[in-house]
Amino acid sequence: MKTENTFTIGDFKINRIGFGTMRASTGAGIWGDTLNKENTIKVLRKAIENGVNFIDTADSYGPYTSELLVQEAIKPFKDQVMLATKGGAVKYRPGAVMANGHPYYLRTAIEGSLKRLERETIDMYFLHRVDPNIPIEESLGALAQFQKEGKIRHIGVSNVTVEQLEKAQSVAKIEAVQNALSYKDRRYEAVVNKTSSENIAFVAHTPVAVNNWDEAAFAKAEQEGISTNQLSLSWLLQYSPNVISIPGTSSEDHLAENLASYNVNIKF
Ligand SMILES: NC(=O)c1ccc[n+]([C@@H]2O[C@H](COP(=O)([O-])OP(=O)(O)OC[C@H]3O[C@@H](n4cnc5c(N)ncnc54)[C@H](OP(=O)(O)O)[C@@H]3O)[C@@H](O)[C@H]2O)c1
């Protein structure tokens, strides 16, 4: 099946296989500096040279180290890339994060991201998690205010249900949702359907780090002569035209394999 390989947000045409920087740009437990900064920068730049133009980071990755590294890596390509970051999740020790969607906190979060990313406006800013103690309308009201102030171009929400998305939409124009989605993880089908019908981007996180591959999937990949990672990425390309996946890697070979998923043409 032929699928459209791009999705447009605002006036920016995104190639639907982007790049997530969470693991490659930080240490173990998504904490501290990457073990191999030079390599991470090299792979990220290679990705952009090969057409990747949607890059995802977050202030909680490291915390902060990912945004700093991504900024350094993409500096030469600034206008070629839509850079997304996220706020509203506090990384307090390796492997642990908690939501903070309080408007005061989000104000300090975005100011920090603007500084680290050396920008006056962030292309795409996601509320990373919904804070169970703060109504989502309050968190999104803050992002809408930052957008009015020119600090955010496009607003997104992450890890949301349809109900939470609708509440967010009551106070802000939501242009992307970032939730888990892969060949083996389809729990957010209802959110994909809603975003698809409203022409909102669905950014699929964790698109290849699948740990529940089954015999049938292995057999299908083998029969098609592709890897299971390519099975997932090509399925995502076909699943819905508003889906942008953001696989992350520290390997040029894996990057090439992931991007080759554009050429996979199989029936699901
Ligand atoms: N919004 C959220 O709450 C949230 C949550 C999780 C993730 N995310 C975003 O989504 C992005 C991707 O998620 P993720 O890092 O959890 O999972 P992922 O991108 O699905 O998988 C990354 C892992 O898979 C490996 N990998 C990638 N391509 C491969 C290939 N072709 N062959 C073999 N191994 C491959 C990488 O190792 P190598 O380095 O060895 O290739 C890495 O360990 C993150 O970077 C982040 O931006 C967002």
Q: Is 188 annotated as catalytic?
A: no
What pLDDT does residue 3 have?
A: 74
Ligand 1 near 22 CB (within 6 A): yes
* pLDDT per position as a tens digit, 211-265: 888 899 999 999 999 999 999 999 999 999 999 999 999 999 999 999 999 999 9
* Helix, strand and coil in the chain, % to nearest 5: 40, 25, 35
Query: Percent of the chain at pLDDT above 90?
Result: 93
Residue 90 within a domain: yes
* pLDDT per position as a tens digit, 16-33: 999 999 999 999 999 999
Specify burial of residue 72 (Cβ count, 10 A radius: 0-12, 13-18, 19+): middle
Tell me which of 61, 64, 105, 239 is the catalytic residue. 61
Can you name the residues that pair with 69 across neighbouring β-strands? none
Check: CB of residue 181 under 8 Å from CB of residue 205. Answer: yes
Select from 42, 12, 11, 36 the least CA-distant residue to 255. 42
Pick the residue whose CA is nearest to atom 16 on ligand 1: 206
Q: What atom in ligand 1 is closest to the CA of residue 182?
A: 20
Residue 2 within a domain: no
Residue 8 within a domain: no
CATH of the domain at 183: 3.20.20.100
Question: Based on the structure, what is the number of domains in the chain?
Answer: 1
pTM of the model: 0.98
Residue 266 within a domain: no
Residue 1 within a domain: no
Which amino acid type is present at position 71? Q
Query: Could you tell me the residue range of the domain that residue 87 belongs to?
Result: 14-259
Residue 179 within a domain: yes
Residue 217 within a domain: yes
Has residue 36 got a pLDDT over 60? yes
Residue 144 within a domain: yes
* pLDDT per position as a tens digit, 163-203: 999 999 999 999 999 999 999 999 999 999 999 999 999 99
- Over residues 91-106, the mean pLDDT reads 97
